[in-house]
Structure 1
Amino acid sequence: MPLFLAEIQPWLLALHIIAVIAWMAGMLYLPRLFVYHSGTMPGSEASEIFKVMERRLLKAIINPAMIVAFILGVLLLWASDWTFLKHGWMHGKLALVFLMFGVHGVMAGHVRRFREDQRARTARYYRVMNEIPTVLMIGIVLLVVVGSRT
């Protein structure tokens, strides 16, 4: 591992956590917008406002935060000489993170469908979808905080 990575590792970790918080904030808010958007008429003023809100949230917050969290996560693994990959808790964490990437992709697809005025899902579906990032986040935090201590 390059020495400079070891020296800045606390900064990498802090920025990684900040990026994850921003990513999760967006992932928790976007399905709530979908709940409200699904109750509007296509083409209405409210629907058009939700389209703007959803697009901006995805493009300006969720996508950049996910990319930064991913890059910093890889740098943190590199800074640890990849030793964390020897632990089962890290395998579990990475599996849940990849599931979160999948949920992120599904949500991006919903933003596109709403943009095209497609309404194939109910508000109830989006309420349930709102819980998935929460459950994944809880699992990730427990694996990192509790799993890394065992």
Structure 2
Amino acid sequence: MSGMFDLLLTAYPWVKSLHVISVIAWMAGLFYLPRLFVYHVEKVESGSETDALFQTMERKLFRVIMQPAMMASWTFGLIMVFTPGAVDWGAIWPYTKGFAILSMTAFHDWLGRRVYQFSQGTNQLTGRRYRIMNEVPTVLLVIIIFSVIVRF
């Protein structure tokens, strides 16, 4: 077991770097996709060529960038969690960060359902609603950053 812990400790800076890279990619998608939905709802006629273009952009952003980035963020994050000494489980910050990460993942899934609704022509939400929802990842990011850096 000592060999595994040594490997985790040695790899930690690399894993942490890959985690940060994947989180940045995931966050970019979480910020951009709701904005695409705003323009899709407000400026695009359903069934038009532009509608098909927006659906392609939304689907590819979600499946090609956001899904892999989320999975990589989770993978590298969990590796760090299991690295000896990386997390002080007696503090509050791992739990606030964990709550925010689970919430971010739920928001990601919510966005995926919206991509599907647009593809089926069943979107019911307004541009205003998507603008409001666009603030969710920002609030969660603030919680995550303060949890990790300030470690309250």
| TM category, shorter | over 0.9
Deviation of 1:138 after TM superposition, in Å, equals 1.1
User: 2:40 is matched with which residue?
Assistant: 37
Identical-pair percentage: 38
| Conservation of the 8 A alpha-carbon contact between 1:31 and 1:126 | yes
Q: Give the paired residue count.
A: 148
Q: How does 1:48-127 map to 2 (within 5 A)?
A: 48-80=52-84, 83-127=87-131
| Matched letter for residue 24 of structure 1 | M
| Matched letter for residue 21 of structure 1 | I
SS in 1 for 2:134: helix
Instruction: Tell me, in whole angstroms, the C-alpha distance in 2 between the residues paired with 1:121 and 1:69.
Output: 29
**Among 6, 10, 14, the residue aligned to 1:3:** 6
| Matched letter for residue 122 of structure 1 | T
TM-score normalized with structure 2 length: 0.93
TM-score normalized with structure 1 length: 0.94
Deviations 1:8-64 (A, max 9, x none): 100000100111000000000000000011122211111110000000000111010
| Conservation of the 8 A alpha-carbon contact between 2:87 and 2:94 | no
| Matched letter for residue 118 of structure 2 | F
Deviation of 1:2 after TM superposition, in Å, equals 2.5
Instruction: Tell me, in whole angstroms, the C-alpha distance in 2 between the residues paired with 1:106 and 1:57.
Output: 14
Gaps of 5+ in 1: none
The yes-or-no answer on 1:22 pairing with 2:25 is yes
Instruction: Tell me, in whole angstroms, the C-alpha distance in 1 between the residues paired with 2:87 and 2:140.
Output: 24
| Conservation of the 8 A alpha-carbon contact between 1:77 and 1:84 | no
The yes-or-no answer on 1:144 pairing with 2:148 is yes
What is the Cα-based RMSD across aligned positions, in Å?
A: 1.3
Instruction: Tell me, in whole angstroms, the C-alpha distance in 1 between the residues paired with 2:114 and 2:89.
Output: 33
Instruction: Tell me, in whole angstroms, the C-alpha distance in 1 between the residues paired with 2:28 and 2:9.
Output: 29
Instruction: Tell me, in whole angstroms, the C-alpha distance in 2 between the residues paired with 1:64 and 1:58.
Output: 9
User: 1:134 is matched with which residue?
Assistant: 138
Deviations 1:108-141 (A, max 9, x none): 0000000001130100000001110011011110
Instruction: Tell me, in whole angstroms, the C-alpha distance in 2 between the residues paired with 1:29 and 1:67.
Output: 18
